Structure 1
């Protein structure tokens, strides 16, 4: 009798071990309204920030991208730059601030965006465009890992004879998490660029996006 019971238990464990795992249902893509609710606001960044009435949907212009390969990598960002879920924020009284763009979809549809981020870093980092009076270059940006993957670049242009601070600088950061992809562009002109803004904005933005994703699955 005892051997029969043990045999039955062994068979049960064997079936449990060999039974296929039940895959969790993928989270549904967020709606445009849900994405818009998850956008960062000026208040999320501090009292010094305000909404920017100029909605410039651009990451880097062709002059800053400089090379054909880098321009191609930046051009690949156009679909996310066209998103209706977008925020445009300025540091009050200064030509600097941050832009955020959000899209959502199935994992299969969003998978290519990680490749876009990798190509952006590969083809833009290391690009230089120096002239007699100015120095410009783009480097890989490391602000930490947010979400499943994070890729970023930083462009800087300085005119040494006028100022040691950049006459123009911009961070372009692409982040993927769950069923969504985020693009952050932090830039500044005439020495107003804040090198820590993209990381601060990413931290707040990712928490708001994850909260929206969690609410959508409840």
Structure 2
């Protein structure tokens, strides 16, 4: 009788430990097709957003990064920018929008991207290049508690005599979600930049990636 009870308990433990693994998905990296299906869409943001046909795959240019360390840190994001899983979204009528790039891989690969995010914040946040007519700089950006980890920076250039809002601004947000890493790039020209768009995009993007991992075979 005792052995039967112990056997039943052991079976229950094994079953309980198996359930979370199944619910979380296979753990295998997502295919490019699975990743593309899990990306943000214009519909996620509302009627004001449309596909951007220009498909810009740039982030901060070297003269915007200002320092060699920051330029190198931003340059390390290039493999993500070349991903086949990418989406480009515009705010209709404005020179502003959001882009998303994603890669899926092993835990060690995702961990290496986490280090890249830490370096990006370390070497870019705090950079300033003010001139007599413009306020230019990069600050650390938080999008809240999303994903396994998230690191972000915001570049802005303001010409006070023209407009108190940035003449140009861009956010770079790197997020880890399970076996996937995604980069969100939000920008805007001529006072069209939406400072809350990156947080909104992050809150929308992570659940979609998590769902893709749970349902992946």
Normalised by the length of structure 1, the TM-score is 0.88
SS of match in other structure, 1:163: coil
SS of match in other structure, 1:156: strand
Q: Alpha-carbon deviations, 1:72-117, whole Å to 9, x = none?
A: 0000000000000000001001000000001001112221000000
Question: Equivalent residues in 2 for 1:177-196 (5 A)?
Answer: 177-196=177-196
Largest Rg, 1 or 2? 1
Query: What is the distance in 1 between the residues matched to 2:30 and 2:195?
Result: 31
Partner of 1:215: 215
Deviation at 1:59, TM superposition (A): 1.5
Query: What is the distance in 1 between the residues matched to 2:208 and 2:175?
Result: 14
Partner of 1:56: 56
Partner of 1:139: 139
Q: Tell me, which stretches of 5 or more residues in structure 1 are unaligned?
A: 17-21
Q: Alpha-carbon deviations, 1:127-180, whole Å to 9, x = none?
A: 001111111011100111211100000111000111100000111000001110
Query: What is the distance in 2 between the residues matched to 1:104 and 1:136?
Result: 34
Q: Answer yes or no: is 1:86 the counterpart of 2:86.
A: yes
Aligned residues: 208
CA RMSD in angstroms comes to 2.4
Partner of 1:31: 31
Q: Tell me, which stretches of 5 or more residues in structure 2 are unaligned?
A: 11-16
Query: What is the distance in 2 between the residues matched to 1:127 and 1:109?
Result: 28
Partner of 1:165: 165
Normalised by the length of structure 2, the TM-score is 0.89
